Chain A
């Protein structure tokens, strides 16, 4: 759009200058034509005066009327010629005073030289009349020269004016051209700088997004432990807006014996920073979990780690499951409760009180125990699964109903739950799900309810 208006402006200026120069040249041509006509008319007027004088002089010298021929022919032409010259001079704004004087001289010459000679050509005072005539004609010539001078001056002046106009137009044109070049150059360089900056920002943004995704995919693709009597499954759905990669995670590590350390959590916020915090908390839980047996202590250590560097709040649930016995110990830090689907299709919420990680430097976390009986399913998830409708109570009810309908022995309970809750796979927030299905036939022990 800006290019078009610039082009139109240039075209407009070009057209105006062209028209200006053309009109200057035309004015000049008209002036030159008028000057030429005036020059011609002036010459004619002089010639007519001389013709009249020649005729009278011939007659005076010879007395033969035949010599009066030029006088007679010139006589009626003088005044029309004078009038024509007068209008030309007026049009050229040249003073008509010399012309007026020429007319007066002509009149005087006729009355004081021509008439007396015509009436009595053999008069005694013929020589004095001739003298008067000569002086009058000289006078006429003087005025004529004056006219010649003025016409020449006018001609030069007009040429100068035209040259001046053309020079001015050319100067303006060149200056404008330079201006346009400068403006266009400035515009282009600014444009290029802006585009460059925008690209830089896009690249930085893209880089952060890729880094955050990379951090997340590092755990999403991790192999989950597998046992004959217990199977782990997980599902992960990133936020709908790709740039809002979040800080959700899940983990399940097999420890030396038949114990598995599991955790799930959610860092408040999105982006690279959230992903980095998530990574740190996960590593802390995984590291402490290898030697510490109390989940509440594992969370307390993760809280310490988080408070060392970050002010972010993280919710998490972590625990240990003994895949031989089905015993689960767990602790919770502000994370949504786990769900336990029993073989009789009842769904129970399992949680312990505790603030989110990073909220306080003196948190109190508590651990609890529960026992998985064969054909039961433990479901851990992040808040995206129950808050997608912005109503946590309704979300929890919907999730409980979906879990109730899950086949414990199916291949991918986590995926089934995700598809049941978010069938179009679109989420405002990240969603992570971890399920632990217990198939083990523990007939030796009496199943207990959860602590």
Chain B
């Protein structure tokens, strides 16, 4: 019984983390039709900044890490993606590839290829006992942070002018512009939100693993991509659900798969992604986009 509960907590925690990754991808894809492969490097660089400032009081560390994500995301938009605004999503994927490679190699040039350990929020890995289940504090933090971000994002999107503009631009970018929504500003806003989510993911990932490596962002961005596919590309609620589902299924497979198949759980998971593209390309929660955008 407590075993089951333990797995459920694991699943929910991993699902929350994956939801953050997927949202970071989806918010940009929705507005700009840009599939940002370099989202992983937003996470990586933020994590390295965390390493540098980890001696400071923790709230300051968190703020600086998030700020790194936002600033770097804005720079990416300004210096890379803005030049290919008219390109199709497959081309933006290649641009993202190039930006990702560039940042990663510069990172290797400056900090070396070897992984580093970071002493940050180590106490959060200690478990607390709730109703007989021992739950690592970090899992609770992850779920809590995700919940707060989801609520915050929902409020932003429904209550503020810029949020309504973001949703409108996701549905029909051209029409939003015809009503006076400034395209550069709205895309930059989407990147800033994505950067904030990447910074958050960096904090949580670093606290969880305690190690950093220049290539740590790549698996994260793949998860984000595939989760948005499962949830429905361009749909923010879809991305959150897709990430959550991907996390839960990952944990379930760890628990339920027979030993022989266990090493192939990623393959199985990504085969499901391809199947999803084939049989339900609109995802679990389809985005409402005007036909001409897709």
**A and B assemble together:** no
List B residues at the A interface (Cβ < 8 Å).
none
Q: Point out residues on A near B: beta carbons under 8 Å.
A: none
